[in-house]
Amino acid sequence: MSPYRERYHRKLDDLVDQTRDLANQASSAIGKSVAALSESNVDLAKEVIKNDQSVDDQSQRIEDLCMELLALQQPMAKDLRRVIGILKIAIDLERISDLAVDVARVTAQSKDKIQITKLEYIPKMAEVDRKMLAQTMEALANGDADLARQVTKWDYEIDGLYVKARDKILKIIIERPEVINEGTSLLMVNRHLERIGDHICNICEAIVYMVEGRREHLN
């Protein structure tokens, strides 16, 4: 095989590595933003916000690499599906990071500590989100469409936790109207973590498409 072709195939593999790197950053943003919220740790929240630049840069790097491959190599078949799939995955990963940043902002901007309740469901959701994301990247690296399909099943757990957290927060707001602002912020956080699960399902759909060429609606 020609050295040009080899370099091309290396770049296609590189695309997956770069995407995993972006996913790691997104995952750590989820973990830290929720830890910051639980511990009212403003510094940690600010760290997440600051790191968003690095996430954007990484996402840009992936987009550039996809553009380069499309323009110079005209990928076909599974290679084409990989480039298109990763373009979509990178967008979802960037959105996930943005949502984590929004969670961090709640902590960073609150003058008073948000401790209207012990956060039991919210950290649990973040944990499930991160577990899903790790498995999703496993599926991407191994071209494992079945694993990608399985991951989307976890979204039911996220949805369940979301409803529980929402009902609990609403109950507190009704009982203690003076915490309306903090309660609303928590409702937003809850919603963001649920949305992250949806983005991960989108990524899983992209992986199934990359591997099998089939457009499946998962979840």
Partner 1 sequence: MVTSKIVSKNLSLWYGEKQALKNISLEIPEKKITALIGPSGCGKSTFIRCLNRMNDLVDKIRIEGEVFYDNNNIYEKNVDVVELRKRIGMVFQKPNPFPMSIYDNVAYGPRIHGMKNVDKIVERSLKDAALWEEVSDRLDHPALGLSGGQQQRLCIARTLAMRPDVILFDEPCSALDPISTGKIESLMETLKDNYTQVIVTHNMQQAARVSSFTAFFLLGELIEVGETKRIFEMPQMKSTEDYITGRFG
Where along the sequence are the contacts to partner 1 (CB under 8 A)?
1, 5, 8-9, 74-81, 213
Please, which residue, 3 or 177, has the CB nearer to partner 1? 3
Shortest Cβ 7–partner 1 spacing (Å):
12
Quote the Cα angle for 56-59-63, to 5°.
Answer: 135
DSSP 111: S
Shortest Cβ 75–partner 1 spacing (Å):
7
**Contact predicate 104/49, CB 8 Å:** yes
**Contact predicate 202/132, CB 8 Å:** no
Please, which residue, 11 or 32, has the CB nearer to partner 1? 11
Q: In whole angstroms, what is the distance from residue 49 CA to residue 127 CA?
A: 20
Please, which residue, 53 or 74, has the CB nearer to partner 1? 74
Shortest Cβ 76–partner 1 spacing (Å):
4
Rounded alpha-carbon distances, angstroms, from residue 173 to 59, 97, 105, 166, 177:
39, 28, 21, 11, 5
Q: Could you tell me which of 55, 48, 51 has the C-alpha nearest to residue 33? A: 48
Shortest Cβ 79–partner 1 spacing (Å):
5
Q: Kindly give the residue spans of alpha helices, DSSP state H, lying in the chain.
A: 3-39, 42-73, 77-109, 121-142, 145-175, 180-212
Please, which residue, 160 or 213, has the CB nearer to partner 1? 213
Q: Is 40 helix (H, G, I), strand (E, B) or coil?
A: coil
Shortest Cβ 74–partner 1 spacing (Å):
6
Half-sphere exposure of 4 (CA within 13 A, CB side): 3
Please, which residue, 198 or 212, has the CB nearer to partner 1? 212
Please, which residue, 12 or 158, has the CB nearer to partner 1? 12
Shortest Cβ 208–partner 1 spacing (Å):
12
